[in-house]
Every structure is written in structure tokens, then in C-alpha cells.
């Protein structure tokens, strides 16, 4: 008996899928449970398995083609079984856009523009493919030692660099003759602290417009389609309002430096983003009204904190989830974020790894962004947007002093969180970052 191969819902939010690669060809023997194809969903590339035995008699959607969830994309049947009537009932047996072997990137656009594929990092030689890490702002790549093997730095700068775990040779000196002074070390430490523990996300490569053409129509990836749909679902129906606090990061940076002195022996490292995740999770345990989902006829308040961490990928955005973030240490949080962010960029995350978050964090500080607002990820009621750690002049007890400061903006769903509730949560988060020891209480 023939078995219809449907485009299955391989993720909770998937509405259509794109065939990346058929692992079986027409005529190949197939057993139930065999992997037939790789399907790109809205968030990842998943495997489609056979639900019957026989041979792959007909492929209806070629590689690169898309089909809505539920559509038949192939037919499995025993050799010799007549499937002509079945194919006739399905339509033209594989014609049309969904069945086009070349896929959407090969289609011709209207007017004088043409649809062209977006170049991948490997094709363009971008930093993402070179494997060379970007330099940390405020530092310079370590240079070969001078013939004397000495670095021009003040004794105070050397001692401070040692306490903060910085290589003094990597700090750009601004003192006389390029001498490294205390101010240089402090600025380098602040910049390094603002850098994420995970590698900077691969930038989205700009599409190439062929010479002589006025424009190029670039087909949407499954992820970009979902991003567009989710933004419409969020910014339209969800009544956003925004709250911002300015945080003194002096003690947070010092605490991170001390933690990293301990973690270095384990081959681990904590970033400021890890510290923010931990502090946010701790603050949410004190303000469960913000750790909630809007359910339409009810508000679901969570006892556990599952933190969604926004990760940029070349064709969109995905939020891996650190489950029970309130109960984990910095080393474990950092390791999970780095590991999941790496697999997110390879589209290897499983659905349970990017769904079920109760609150989210988006950090653009590594790009030098001082302050921004993030869009809520429904049904969550809140998300915080984290800016860069920067040295700024502030007034403390009547004196102008320079401190490492960081702005955090909270986007709130007003159906769930009122202004005073959001303000109290941010006040607690601010207090935890300004005195990290309070997280342990």
C-alpha cells in the first residue's frame, strides 16, 4: 500500500518547510524510520523520517522547494504498485512552485530585477568563515615583545591588570610614549567585560545585486518568514511599554574578574552577559508577576525561570533557552549559552531547546549599542534589552566620578505587568548587579 509523505510540523511554530536535501532518491528502498530528507523549519534544520516501507517512488517537492505543513511532498510504495491514480489525485505530480527542483532562489523576479541567493560567509570570506576572532574594543592584538621583552606600563597599571586577569601587553597605552596607565587598564577591562562569552554572531551577508540591475528580490528563508510573522503578532496586539535603568557596573566587573580567576583553572570563563542572566533570573524569583505568560483568559505565573537568550544568526534571530537559570551558576550558564548559540547558528537546535522560555534577554552591548528596546516574545510578558558597558561621568555624593555604566531597558506587556511592578523588578535587578553578593542571599 502506498504511503503519502507529508510535510510534518517539525517545530511547534512551523507553518511550512523547505526541503534542504533528499537523502533518498526516487527508486531507493525505504524502511519505516529511515531518514528521507532534511527540512528547514522556521528555526532549525530537522530530519524527516519515513512512515512506511517500500521504495521512494515519487518526489513531489524538490530540493529548495517549500510546502505548507500537511502537504504531500513524496510517495512511498512497493515496487510495481500503480500510483498513477494517487498522483493524479494530488495534482500535477510535482509541478508548480512547491515541486520545482531548483527551489525559490532560481525563480525570475518581475521587471528588471532578478532573484539571487544570498552569499554565505564561506563564499564571501567574512570573519565568520575565517575563524579569526574580532579584537576586543579597548585592546590591541598582542604584538611581538620588544627586544628588551618589557612592556611600558606603570606599576599600578600592571598590578590592576593582574587583578582583573588582563594581559598588560594587549592593552593600548595612552600615557607618555605609549605607556599603559591605570585608566587604560580600566577601559580595557570594561570593554572586555562588555564582550559576550560566545563568539560574535556571523553578520547577515548583504545580498548581491547583479551589475546593471536596479534591484534584486531575495527569497525569504523560513526563519525570516517566522520572524516577520512573530513581530506582527507581538508589536500589533501586545501593548508594550518601556522602563530603563542605568546600572553602576563597578562591583559586577570586579566580581566577574574574581570569578574568572577561579574558573580559568577549569578552562571556563564568565561574561557580563552570563552575570546579567543570573541576576535577572534571581530578580524574577523575587518578582514572579514578571515571570509570566499572557494566556488570554488567564495569566500563567511561573515558579521556575527559563531564560530565553536572543542569538543573532545570519538570516534571523533565535532564542535558546537556559532552563532553571535561577538555580545555575555562572560557569554552567556560560557553557550552555555558548554551546547552544553555536548549534543555533548551524541550525542544529532541537525544538525543546528554543521553546518554553518564561522571560528573555537581548544583548547588543557587544556592538557598542548604548540603549535600545526589544520586542516581547509572546506569550512572555517581558524582555530586557542590555546595552554596552561604558565609562561615563556621573555625580556621586556631589562629586563627578567616572564609572562603568550599563543601561537596561525592560519591555513590558501592560496586560500582565503594570508600571510599578516592572519598576520594582528593575530596581531589584539593578541592586543585584551593583552588589553581586546579594544574588547569593
All three cell numbers of 60, joined, read 513531489
d(C-alpha 140, C-alpha 133), whole Å: 12
Query: Nearest to residue 45, comparing CAs of 21, 72, 67?
Result: 21
In order, the DSSP letters of 78-146 are: -TT---HHHHHHHSSSS-HHHH-TT-GGGSPPSTT-B--PPPPHHHHT-HHHH-PPPPPTTB-PPPPPP
**Whole-angstrom Cα distance, residue 161 to residue 190?**
12
Residue with cell 574568572: 260
Placement of cell 518601556 in the chain:
242
Radius of gyration of the chain from Cα atoms?
Answer: 26
414 included as an active-site residue: yes
Cell digits of residue 251? 562591583
> Distance (Å, rounded) from C-alpha 357 to C-alpha 53?
38
Q: Dihedral, CA atoms, 128, 131, 132, 135, nearest 10 degrees?
A: 60
Degrees to nearest 5, angle at CA 254 with 248 and 260: 135
Q: Exactly one of 240, 286, 352, 414 is catalytic; name it.
A: 414
User: Residues near 324 by Cβ (< 8 Å), separated by ≥ 6?
Assistant: 304, 305, 306
Place of cell 596607565: 181
Place of cell 577601559: 187
The single-letter DSSP state of residue 7 is: -
Q: Which residues are known to be catalytic?
A: 414
Amino acid at each position: 500500500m502506498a504511503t503519502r509523505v507529508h510535510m510534518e510540523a517539525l517545530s511547534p511554530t512551523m507553518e511550512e518547510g523547505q526541503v534542504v536535501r533528499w537523502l533518498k532518491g526516487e527508486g531507493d528502498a525505504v524502511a519505516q524510520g529511515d531518514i528521507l530528507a532534511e527540512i528547514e523549519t522556521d528555526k532549525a534544520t530537522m530530519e524527516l523520517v519515513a512512515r512506511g516501507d517500500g521504495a521512494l517512488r515519487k518526489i513531489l517537492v524538490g530540493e529548495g522547494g517549500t510546502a505548507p505543513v500537511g502537504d504531500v511532498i513524496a510517495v512511498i510504495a512497493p515496487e510495481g504498485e500503480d500510483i498513477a491514480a494517487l498522483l493524479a489525485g494530488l495534482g500535477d505530480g510535482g509541478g508548480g512552485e512547491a515541486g520545482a527542483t531548483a527551489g525559490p532562489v532560481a525563480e525570475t523576479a518581475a521587471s528588471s530585477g532578478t532573484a539571487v541567493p544570498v552569499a554565505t560567509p564561506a563564499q564571501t570570506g567574512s570573519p565568520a568563515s575565517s575563524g579569526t576572532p574580532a579584537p576586543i574594543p579597548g585592546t590591541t592584538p598582542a604584538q611581538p615583545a620588544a627586544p628588551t621583552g618589557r612592556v611600558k606600563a606603570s606599576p599600578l597599571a600592571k598590578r590592576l591588570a593582574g587583578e582583573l586577569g588582563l594581559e598588560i601587553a594587549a592593552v593600548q597605552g595612552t600615557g607618555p610614549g605609549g605607556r599603559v596607565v591605570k585608566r587604560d587598564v580600566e577601559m580595557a577591562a570594561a570593554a572586555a567585560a562588555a564582550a559576550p562569552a560566545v563568539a560574535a554572531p556571523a553578520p547577515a551577508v548583504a545580498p548581491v545585486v547583479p551589475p546593471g540591475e536596479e534591484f534584486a528580490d531575495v527569497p525569504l528563508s523560513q526563519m525570516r518568514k517566522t520572524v516577520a510573522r512573530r513581530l506582527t503578532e507581538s508589536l500589533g496586539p501586545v501593548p508594550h511599554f518601556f522602563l530603563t535603568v542605568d546600572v553602576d557596573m563597578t562591583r559586577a566587573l570586579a566580581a566577574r574578574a574574581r570569578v574568572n580567576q577561579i574558573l580559568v583553572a577549569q578552562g571556563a570563563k564568565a561574561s557580563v552577559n552570563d552575570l546579567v542572566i543570573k541576576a535577572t533570573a534571581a530578580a524574577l524569583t523575587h518578582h514572579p508577576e514578571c515571570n509570566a505568560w499572557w494566556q488570554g483568559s488567564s495569566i500563567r505565573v511561573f515558579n521556575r525561570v527559563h531564560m530565553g537568550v536572543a542569538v543573532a544568526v545570519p538570516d534571523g534571530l533565535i532564542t535558546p533557552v537556559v532552563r532553571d537559570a535561577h538555580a545555575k551558576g555562572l560557569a554552567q550558564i556560560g557553557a550552555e549559552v555558548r554551546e547552544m548559540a553555536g548549534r543555533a547558528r548551524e541550525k542544529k537546535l532541537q525544538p525543546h531547546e528554543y521553546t518554553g522560555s518564561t522571560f528573555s534577554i537581548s544583548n547588543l552591548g557587544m556592538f557598542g549599542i548604548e540603549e535600545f528596546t526589544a520586542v516581547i516574545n509572546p506569550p512572555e510578558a517581558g524582555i530586557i534589552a542590555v546595552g554596552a558597558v561604558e565609562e561615563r561621568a556621573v555625580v556621586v555624593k556631589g562629586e563627578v566620578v567616572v564609572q562603568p555604566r550599563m543601561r537596561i531597558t525592560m519591555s513590558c506587556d501592560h496586560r500582565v505587568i503594570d508600571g510599578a511592578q516592572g519598576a520594582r523588578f528593575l530596581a531589584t535587578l539593578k541592586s543585584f548587579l551593583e552588589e553581586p553578593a546579594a544574588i547569593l542571599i
